[in-house]
Amino acid sequence: MDYKDIKLTKDGAVATITIDRPEVLNAIRDNTMYEIQDALNGIAQDDAIRVVVLTGAGDKAFVAGGDISIMAKGAGYLDVIHGLPAGQQITWNIEHFQKPVVARLNGLALGGGTELALACDIRVAADTIMMGVPEINLGIIPGYGGTQRLPRIVGVGMAKKMVLTGEHISAQEAYRIGLVDVLVPKAELDDAVAKLCKRLASKSPIALAMGKEAINMGIQADLRTGLSIEARCFCMCFGSQDRVEGMNAFLEKRKPEFKGK
């Protein structure tokens, strides 16, 4: 498929989805989200890919938000009713994708940009970025999961402060409150992402998927239900060839070679 809003590249075990609309600071529109989903569909079928990176083109923005010019001129109430659930589903699909998704935050991550980052498993940021959910300044609120994922990550009080004031926060503050997981100087961003991806790609694909599922599903459940989810995911790992390889490699003092089986 020829994409208009994104670029998809593959390097070894890593696939990179780059939101490529630098002329509007990589602002997202419906088509952007649909193309991200299409790229993920293909990656899901490619066993050679073990890690996904989501980033923005250029060095100014990851995603500066939704494309306001489109929303202000062309989007009616019925468009929103039908379009918003689709966008929410795509962020859900990113969050629950079977392979780890790393957000490479290279610049502004505002509104929908912060929401896309929230859906990723690990957020790696340059120390020059800004984040925030400024939708309140437009008379709306976040619509791609920001009001739901943000409090789960930074706490209810901080989430309300960010959503209700619309203020931007620095990379350092984002790291302090847990919105960013890895913070590095801008010049070291690519190296940090590459090292993380290499480490993730060396793990069992089955264990990675089960680890994600146990956390994602368990956090929405009571503790007893969460423990049942963990047990199910553990057993899925234990019944795999990768588990046998991992334990044999440990005993033989060598690096394991996981096959995802």
- The answer to whether residue 35 is catalytic is no
* Mean pLDDT taken over the chain: 95
Catalytic residue among 23, 135, 167, 252: 135
CB 31 within 8 A of CB 218: no
135 catalytically annotated: yes
214-239 per-position pLDDT tens digit: 999 999 999 999 999 999 999 999 99
Q: What is the mean pLDDT of residues 152-162?
A: 98
> How confident is the model at residue 75, as a pLDDT?
63
Which of 49-53, 76-80, 95-99, 153-157 is predicted with the least confidence, judged by mean pLDDT?
76-80
- Name the strands in the sheet holding 61-63, side by side, starting at the edge strand that comes first in the sequence: 61-63, 108-110, 130-132, 169-170
- Rounded to 5 degrees, what are φ and ψ at 203? -90, 170
First to last CA, the chain: 29
197's CB contacts (< 8 A; 6+ apart) are 13, 14, 51, 53, 102
Is residue 184 packed enough to be buried (19+ CB in 10 Å), middle (13-18) or exposed (0-12)?
middle
State the pLDDT at residue 67.
Answer: 76
Q: 179: which DSSP letter?
A: S
- Identify the DSSP state of 5: S
**Tell me, what amino acid is at 191?**
D
| Every domain of the chain and the residues it spans | 6-201, 205-251
| Per-residue pLDDT at 171 | 98
Exactly one of 95, 115, 173, 188 is catalytic; name it: 115
- pLDDT value at residue 212: 98
- Which residues, listed in sequence order, are joined to residue 56 by a DSSP beta bridge? 19
CATH fold of 6-201 reads: 2-enoyl-CoA Hydratase; Chain A, domain 1 (3.90.226)
**pLDDT of the residue at 132:** 98
Full-model pTM? 0.94
- What CATH superfamily is the domain 205-251? Lyase 2-enoyl-coa Hydratase, Chain  A, domain 2 (1.10.12.10)
Name the DSSP letter for residue 121: S
